[in-house]
Amino acid sequence: MQGHGITITGSTTPFAQVENLSSDTFRFIDGPRPVGPEGGVLSVNGLPDADVDLLLAITDGAAAAFSDDDLPTLFPFAGDPWPGFPHTFSLSDAGGTLLLQFNRVTQVPEPATGTLALTGLAALAFARRRMRG
């Protein structure tokens, strides 16, 4: 997350959870928390800051998003138009809490996936060229 000259970077050990109950909830938690599951230490402008924590929770009241408590391969809340599930996003530190509301969630491939695909295509093109020539 970046804004007003501040960059917040997540830890390498965030906590992700799925609850498949009377309502389905996906939670992503990073940073130390006083109660419940927690992630590692986030960084602010490249410096570890144990006062910063992140919570993302998206709930489907109809309980149709998940079939069990396993993390999904595809994120079920992505789509257009926004399916209208209740949602929460907060980022907190000693100075207060930033609350945001989602209008749209879109699933995009990780940058490494695109790089790997392009590298593979380039290797295939090179091999094909060597075979011809």
Tell me whether strands 87-93 and 96-100 are parallel, antiparallel or unpaired.
Answer: antiparallel
User: What would the pLDDT profile of 15-65 be if each residue is shown by its tens digit?
Assistant: 888 988 888 888 888 888 888 888 899 998 899 999 888 888 888 878 888
Q: Is 87 helix (H, G, I), strand (E, B) or coil?
A: strand
Residue 7's pLDDT band (boundaries 50, 70, 90)?
A: confident
- Model pLDDT, residue 118: 62
Amino acid at 109: P
- Helix (H) or strand (E) holding 18, with range, is strand 15-20
The structure tokens listed for 55 are 């919570």
Which alpha helices (H) appear in the chain, and where do they start and end? 111-132
- Model pLDDT, residue 2: 47
Q: For residues 76 and 85, what is the distance between their CA atoms, to the nearest angstrom? A: 11
- Model pLDDT, residue 47: 93
- Model pLDDT, residue 113: 56
Amino acid at 57: A
- Model pLDDT, residue 1: 47
CB 91 within 8 A of CB 1: yes
Q: For residues 70 and 99, what is the distance between their CA atoms, to the nearest angstrom? A: 27
User: What would the pLDDT profile of 67-108 be if each residue is shown by its tens digit?
Assistant: 888 887 776 766 554 455 556 677 777 888 877 766 555 655
Look-up of token digits 């799925």: 18
- Model pLDDT, residue 131: 55
